[in-house]
Structure 1
């Protein structure tokens, strides 16, 4: 996985941006920022552009609702 690429964690469908790799796991971060999580590399699939766009819009909408 290339750092900066968007992928889907097939365990739960979350989309994340690849931040790095540690051993067999890839470190992912949500498109709008937030807490990283680890996923085994074999359980990732490339994210389609539409999936990434939807995830980014959700993150922007969430930010707009914060006080």
Structure 2
């Protein structure tokens, strides 16, 4: 499952699966950043559309001027 994308169904965040630690699945935001722990029962499969939306959201955020 590592390297795949998943949805944290608790809040809808999409992240890349980085691995499992202490019974939790570790997810990293699509554009990179700090990982978060998600209980396995709250991990859902991310659709292609959800991953693309997360990527576009990150690109738009990165492109904003200060």
TM-score by length of 1: 0.91
C-alpha root-mean-square deviation of aligned residues, in Å? 1.0
Which runs of 5 or more residues in structure 1 are unaligned?
A: none
Q: Which residue of 1 aligns with 2:42?
A: 43
How many residue pairs match? The answer is 66
Structure 2 Cα separation of the partners of residues 22 and 58 of structure 1: 28
Which runs of 5 or more residues in structure 2 are unaligned?
A: none
TM-score by length of 2: 0.93
